[in-house]
Chain A
Amino acid sequence: MSDEQPAITLYRLQACPYCERVVRTLDEQGLAYQSRFVEPMHSDRNVVKRVSGKRSVPAIVDDNTGVTMSESANIVEYLENTYGEGA
């Protein structure tokens, strides 16, 4: 699968409703994505801080556009505007 690794990486936390909201949008748009799970403790999320500047999840990295983004409302809006009908 390394030859067809999805362009979108989603940093998420198990059972986090904001993350599930983003997953639902990704699924609605039919977008392939790779999930990377981090731990509940914010102090254990250095990887998220490194890629997005913040320790919050969800965060996505979209290699199609070079966009990195946090906050589920922002991400959903971005995905719909970028990949949704009329985009």
Chain B
Amino acid sequence: MPDFDVVSLPDHDAPAEGDTAPDFTRPLVNAEFWEDAALSDLTDDGPVLLVFHTMAGAFPATYVWNELRDRGVPEDVQTVGVSISSPYEHKSFLEERDVDARLFSDPAADVAADYDLEHDLDGMAGVTEHRPAVFLLDEDRTVQYRWIADEWPDFPDYEGIADALDDL
């Protein structure tokens, strides 16, 4: 641990366990193409692990997806990310990191606003991205588990996620 205080992130009102996660439609990028998709389209098909992360290229995005890839997620759970990266960047990221997931592109961070998880980046004027967070949603988009970054940077509680996946 560093011998100084890490930057704390402010209070938030993000969806909590038992809440219904806000629906949204954005381009959803896979290894081959992207098309508009609604979060509710995905949850209609089964549980979703929804991961808010930094833009592609920033090391937290790399760390989080490497970790999720290496730890694995049950096949019946769809893993999807959300960041401000363009579909082109998402596609390169999936390829470079060999990540078996799909990523929503939300360049204006409106989804972050809907979830009260906007993160204005210091030193990058006009750039707001998604505060790191993880939501495990059931078929009704009900939040079964959540983790929200308290600090900058902060990394998901992978054990907590694994336990929540076990409890589905």
Contact = CB atoms under 8 A, between A and B. Distances in A.
Interface of A: 1-3, 11, 34-39, 44, 46-47
B36 interface: yes
Q: Chain B, interface size: which category?
A: 10 to 19
Q: B-side binding surface: helix, strand, loop or mixed?
A: mixed
Given A2-B44, A37-B27, A37-B87, A46 B32 contact: yes
30 contacts: A1-B25, A1-B37, A1-B38, A1-B40, A1-B41, A2-B41, A2-B44, A2-B45, A3-B44, A11-B33, A34-B35, A34-B36, A35-B35, A35-B36, A36-B33, A36-B34, A36-B35, A37-B27, A37-B33, A37-B34, A37-B35, A37-B87, A38-B32, A38-B33, A39-B88, A39-B91, A44-B32, A46-B32, A47-B32, A47-B33
A3 B40 CA distance: 11
A36 B28 CA distance: 10
B135 to A, nearest CB: 20
Interface of B: 25, 27, 32-38, 40-41, 44-45, 87-88, 91
B102 to A, nearest CB: 13
A12 to B, nearest CB: 9
Contacts of A37: 27, 33-35, 87
